[in-house]
Amino acid sequence: MRPEPDRKREGPGDGGDLYCSCPVSVLIFYFFKSGTFMRAHWRQWQAFRWALVTCAVLCLGVSIYYADLLKAAFARNPVPRTAESIGRGRLLFQQQCAICHGERGLGDGPVAASLRDKPEDLSKIARPPIFPDGIVIYRIANGKKLMPAFKTTLSESQLWDLLNFIRSLRRS
Ligand code: HEC
């Protein structure tokens, strides 16, 4: 946890301690109560425990299956969003992507009309945290249905240049 210097300066009566201590005391109460509760309701507790274990195993399975995607969501952009990077991204985009996505990423490239699933307007894709940078990169690297994968054609830094260009398309 990061220290919160501002909270301290507010002095007593800001309610912060109260907010904290209420749930904590409720938790402590139930922690001590649960011993008796578990003995009295052992069967239910056991069923609940199995439900909990199943749930945990499922969660683990899903996170292993989507490990790459989950990891991608937390990737940080190592390439600063400078004019140079955006310029390199624009050039790459014109060479590799514009044929489907259009020069400005609107989804109006020359072959877009013949595609079964149209590429979306890249100037409208959501900002992080809704659509994290790492997931956009993951899509470009691994493709999706009609969208080809570029991880063998483009280097890591080229992918991030493309991301910087795509983020610059947004008109807010
Ligand atoms: C063959 C045509 C084609 C080319 C070339 C292409 N794309 Fe796509 N792209 C698509 C289509 C079609 C989709 C929509 C995929 C879907 O969701 O079904 C898409 C989706 C995307 C998405 C959004 C993914 C999402 O989940 O919303 C991004 C970002 C993207 N492309 C970036 C690029 C970049 C960058 C390049 C160039 C390096 C590129 N694309 C080249 C066709 C193409």
76-109 per-position pLDDT tens digit: 999 999 999 999 999 999 999 999 999 999 999 9
To test the ligand 1 pocket, which listed residue (104, 120, 122, 147) has its Cβ within 8 A of the most ligand atoms? 147
44-85 per-position pLDDT tens digit: 778 888 899 999 999 999 989 888 888 899 999 999 999 999
Domain range annotation of the chain? 14-65, 83-168
Nearest CA to ligand 1 atom 17: 144
Q: Which residue has the higher pLDDT, 169 or 129?
A: 169
- CA–centroid distance, 104 to ligand 1, in Å, is 13
The span from the CA of 168 to the CA of 172, in Å, is 10
pTM over 0.85: no
In CATH terms, the fold of domain 83-168 is: Cytochrome Bc1 Complex; Chain D, domain 2 (1.10.760)
| CB distance 133 to 77 below 8 Å | yes
Handedness of CA 103, 108, 109, 115 (dihedral sign): positive
Q: How many CB atoms lie within 10 A of CB 161?
A: 25
The span from the CA of 153 to the CA of 26, in Å, is 56
Q: Which residues pair with 81 in a beta bridge?
A: none
The span from the CA of 97 to the CA of 57, in Å, is 40
